Structure 1
Amino acid sequence: MHNIRKLKIWNDSIDLVIEVYKALATMPVEEKYGLSSQIKRCAVSIPSNIAEGAGREREKEFYHFLNIAYGSSYELQTQLIICERLNFISLEINETLLNKLEEIQKMLFVFKENLKKNINI
């Protein structure tokens, strides 16, 4: 079991969720239950899966949830790019979000690889 509050990757992904919510505040109302809702779910999924995995007894289970978080990060990346192309969020705001997301993806990858070595997958 891990203390998620001490995990940089969890804290950084929580910060990203807050920034995503702020960036989507100006999206068209008709997207509230469409793309905006999907993006929010993806963003929240990243720290939520890190937390769920951290709370599991076995490192193999943690690895599984890190994989889910990693997949959600790529889903989020795709949706943010779609938002930008639809002019729902500006290039500048999106670049900031995508750069932070890329850092989280790198951390997730390294974390997964280190865990993988420990559990012999």
Structure 2
Amino acid sequence: MAFHFKFEDLQVYQKALDFVDLAYETAQLFPKSELYILTSQYKRAALSIALNTAEGHGDSNAQFNRFLQIAKNSVKECVVCSTIARRQNYITQEQDKFNRAKLAELSKMIGSLQKYLKK
């Protein structure tokens, strides 16, 4: 069995990984002309949520909070990417709505963890 890291137990980290899967799935719907533009940006922003959550865990509460803020900003970036994809008709309104619901959930979870760290 592979070594288990503490950050892997965080529910927000697990949800972030789920969103990475969703972002990759969604990005497959984008045209090839967007490969190095919107597709790349969307995937990188989604990855940033999970990466920053993992990277900051185990540091001081203040440092972890800083990484969580970066993750939260990446959530906003994903919202914009999803909106652009919908406006360009790369994804449906329903897909955008689904993406936004997952992102809202992530944002709330990150915010709750930030509040807990400030106690």
Distance 1:36 1:26 in 2: 9
Preserved contact between residue 24 and residue 89 of structure 1 (Cα < 8 Å): no
Superposition misfits of 4+ residues, deviation over 3 angstroms: none
- Give the one of 28, 47, 50 matched to 1:47: 50
RMSD over aligned CA atoms reads 1.2
- Give the one of 80, 83, 96 matched to 2:82: 80
* TM-score, structure 2 as length reference: 0.92
Distance 1:55 1:44 in 2: 19
Distance 1:76 1:26 in 2: 15
Taking the TM superposition and a 5 Å limit, the aligned residue runs for 1:86-105 are: 86-105=88-107
- State the 1:55 CA deviation: 3.9
Distance 2:70 2:29 in 1: 29
Give the % identical residues. 35
Q: Which runs of 5+ in 2 are unaligned?
A: none
Distance 1:12 1:26 in 2: 22
Which residue is 1:114 aligned to?
116
**Size of the alignment, in residue pairs?**
115
Distance 1:55 1:116 in 2: 15
- For 2:109, give the aligned amino acid: M
Q: Which runs of 5+ in 1 are unaligned?
A: none
- Give the one of 13, 18, 21 matched to 2:21: 18
Distance 1:114 1:74 in 2: 21
The 3-state SS of whatever aligns with 1:34 is: helix
Taking the TM superposition and a 5 Å limit, the aligned residue runs for 1:62-73 are: 62-73=64-75
